[in-house]
């Protein structure tokens, strides 16, 4: 009957080890979970093609605009990670200008009705999840 306390202790130690491993794994994942740019482009094209009912010509032009947008965004995110706080603020301003430029280019390709739908789609996606389940949780603070 003396075996049970040892078994319970071993199970508890195993449980603690699994919790630590799980925490370390979760902390290490955020950068790895970033979506591949090509996958992101295909996902956006799929949604926009169906929601905006793009013609083949429009789809080709939109693909080019979005590919540039995604590439530029990736470059900006890399620079943002390496920059200090002031550089990040300046980059945010640059990104907002660049997004407006992208929206203008899209408006040149799309019809009025499509621009309205595109704007709603992008606004929804730029806001991201609003249920409090983001990377930093409900409070918006780190750790």
| Domains of the chain, residue spans | 36-125
- Comparing 95 with 51, which gets the higher pLDDT? 51
Q: What is the mean pLDDT of residues 69-77?
A: 84
pLDDT value at position 2? 54
Pairwise CA distance, residues 81 & 49, whole Å: 32
pLDDT value at position 32? 45
Q: Given a cut of 60, is residue 36 above it in pLDDT?
A: yes
Lookup result for tokens 């130690």: 13
pLDDT value at position 34? 61
């Amino acid at each position: 009957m003396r075996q049970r306390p040892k078994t319970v202790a071993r199970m508890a130690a195993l449980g603690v080890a699994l919790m630590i491993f799980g925490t370390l794994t979760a902390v290490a994942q955020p950068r790895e979970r970033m979506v591949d740019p090509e996958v992101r482009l295909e996902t956006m094209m799929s949604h926009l093609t169906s929601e905006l009912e793009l013609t083949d010509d429009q789809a080709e032009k939109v693909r080019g605009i979005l590919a540039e947008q995604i590439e530029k965004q990736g470059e900006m995110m890399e620079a943002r990670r390496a920059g200090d706080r002031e550089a990040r603020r300046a980059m945010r301003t640059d990104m907002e200008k660049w997004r407006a430029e992208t929206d203008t280019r899209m408006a040149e390709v799309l019809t009025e009705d499509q621009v309205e739908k595109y704007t709603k789609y992008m606004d929804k996606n730029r806001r991201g999840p609003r249920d409090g389940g983001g990377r930093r949780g409900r409070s918006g603070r780190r750790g």
